[in-house]
Structure 1
Amino acid sequence: MNTAEQAGHEAKDATRRAAASRPMTVLTRVGLACRGVLYALIGVVALQIAAGDGSKEADKAGAISTLAALPFGAVLLWIMTAGFAALALWQASEAVFGHDKALERGESVARVVVYVLVFFTLISVLTTSKATSDDQKSQDLTAKLLALPAGPFIVGAIGLGFVVLGAYWVRRGVTKGFREELDRGRMSPRARSVMDRLGLGGYVARGAIAALAGIFVVQAAITYDADKAGGIDATLRQFADTPAGAWLLVVVALGVLLFAGYCFGESRWRRTS
């Protein structure tokens, strides 16, 4: 083994040890709980939208802004910043060392991207007291991609990727594939039953949101109109515009709240190594 290869192996080993260390494991579990807080706030705002109050944004930026306005909000946001940084490092380590299947590696990479974006949103709120909505971020990024050569094809492929991800999450919920991520040996029979219900409802709701968001991105590619794309907030509002009306949004919002509950349970029982 030459010097460069040895240095590479040492760097990988150091990264693996850092991700598996006790402090990082604690921060990762804190981050999973923080993710539950964000989804809980998104679900509550979605219910408010279904009831006719559309003054708030049902996305991660809106949830973070809501937390910032609370007493000791800055302290909460700094804790969440550390937690999401730990989540990003953990999932990066999983993508490199923890998975054998390409789909699982791809999911970890996608999670890294999401956690990094949340991390920078938290930093933005802490330093400037402002957070760009997920809808605006999606539209800005879509516009930049559409301006590239073969931009519509790139955007369309991303949209189809979201649709596939949504179907994968729905399947994961229905088949209870999330069980493999939990240390079920440490869980009581009642805890396993509760987590099964939370995971089923939560993953199906997440999958439905991701799939509908993907459809909007595909529409943006077809029409060459970045405004067709949107984040969680715009997608949730579209559920209220279906023939089922606000009741469908209520069902999806309750699913988001179930996923928030799953995140809280996951923070305790998730396998992190």
Structure 2
Amino acid sequence: MTRPDLPPPLKQSAQQTLHHPGFEKLARLGYTAKGIVYFVVGLLAAQAAIGAGGRTTDTSGALQEIVVQPFGKLLLSLVAIGIVGYVLWRFAQAIFDPEHEGRPNSAKRIVNRIGYLLSAIAYSGLALTALNLILGTGGADGKASQDWTELVLAQPLGQWLVGLAGTIVVGVGLSHFYQAYTAKFQRHFKLDQMRLSERKWAKRVGQFGTAARGVVFCVIGLFVIIAAWQSDATEIRGLGEALAVLAQQPYGTWILGIVALGLIAYSIYSLIEARYRRLIQD
């Protein structure tokens, strides 16, 4: 459940926290909130694809869409609590590795834990955006990535560092394709508690959704590489802009529609995780 090199008192405290029913509920609420956010992103993109309104947006835009609905601040408050729960769970995965991903101290295990840490940081920003929207102080301006990229590009070897970051993002996208093909994500489910039909649908929506996320990551990563090549931070694209780029391609309406449905599938997959994911490996 925890790192073997932790001091015994800290290790015992971490074990008690990870096994606390309240912490597990908060983590599962986190997966639920994540699913809701991606459902909104996918739904808006699907509507844009078929010309029924909607728009291409990112996760922050999804929160903005939620807050303008009837009882929007209440709904967003519940989602925000879930996002905070997801942040705490990601930090727990990064620090304590409760799911025992790979062999101890293996490269895979280290990479996974770094990924969880970066995810925790990213969702911390999303939680802050939700708080700002609830308080009425506005959301993020969507230029943080460009600002950070511009700062890095101004440093020695900055272009190489940004290019490396873009390559890593593309690699993450390709790893999503691999996960979609192998459906290894099923090992995280409590399969013994799922009916056969539930297993089949969990696998299908998981594969479709994971592949759609892979497409988005690859597009985002390619634009990071372009930004490095041209030393131009304005080339950076986020989730919403990546979807807009897909829509501008030949047969873009179809491409956007398929990816949008994939993101909706990913949202359903997140809800399945909220119910059936095995959070602690004993």
**TM-score of the superposition, structure 1-length normalised?**
0.91
Q: Which moved more, 1:210-219 or 1:62-71?
A: 62-71
1:139-159 Cα distance to aligned partner (Å, 9 max, x none): 222122222222111111111
1:67-216 equivalent positions in 2, closer than 5 A: 67-98=66-97, 99=101, 100=104, 101-134=109-142, 136-216=143-223
| Structure 2: runs of 5 or more not aligned | none
Partner of residue 26, structure 2: 27
1:178-219 Cα distance to aligned partner (Å, 9 max, x none): 111111111110110010000010000001100110000010
- How far is 1:7 from its partner? 8.8
- Pair 1:61–1:133, CA change in 2 (3 A): farther
> Is the 1:46–1:253 Cα contact (8 Å) retained in structure 2?
yes
The list of structure 1 runs, each at least 4 consecutive aligned residues, that deviate by more than 3 angstroms after superposition, is 6-9, 51-57
Q: Which moved more, 1:8-17 or 1:254-263?
A: 8-17
Partner of residue 3, structure 1: none
> Which letter does structure 2 place at the counterpart of 1:234?
E
- Pair 1:210–1:22, CA change in 2 (3 A): same
Q: Output the CA distance in 2 between the equivalents of 1:142 and 1:161.
A: 15
> Is the 2:152–2:161 Cα contact (8 Å) retained in structure 1?
yes
- How far is 1:121 from its partner? 1.2
1:98-137 Cα distance to aligned partner (Å, 9 max, x none): 2342232222223212221211111121223411254x22
- How far is 1:55 from its partner? 6.9
How many residue pairs end up in the alignment?
Answer: 267
- Pair 1:16–1:153, CA change in 2 (3 A): farther
Q: Output the CA distance in 1 between the equivalents of 2:15 and 2:70.
A: 37
> Which letter does structure 1 place at the counterpart of 2:29?
V
> Is the 2:208–2:266 Cα contact (8 Å) retained in structure 1?
yes
> Which letter does structure 2 place at the counterpart of 1:72?
F
- Pair 1:149–1:240, CA change in 2 (3 A): same
RMSD: 2.0
SS of alignment partner, residue 116 of structure 1: helix
- How far is 1:176 from its partner? 0.1
> Is the 2:209–2:266 Cα contact (8 Å) retained in structure 1?
yes
> Is the 2:44–2:54 Cα contact (8 Å) retained in structure 1?
no
Q: Output the CA distance in 2 between the equivalents of 1:238 and 1:268.
A: 34
| Structure 1: runs of 5 or more not aligned | 1-5
1:221 paired residue among 213, 228, 234: 228
Identity of aligned residues (%): 28
Q: Which moved more, 1:81-90 or 1:23-32?
A: 81-90
Q: Output the CA distance in 1 between the equivalents of 2:275 and 2:220.
A: 30
Q: Output the CA distance in 2 between the equivalents of 1:209 and 1:255.
A: 10
Partner of residue 230, structure 1: 237
**TM-score of the superposition, structure 2-length normalised?**
0.88
- How far is 1:248 from its partner? 0.7
Q: Output the CA distance in 1 between the equivalents of 2:228 and 2:130.
A: 30
Partner of residue 17, structure 2: 18
Q: Which moved more, 1:93-102 or 1:111-120?
A: 93-102
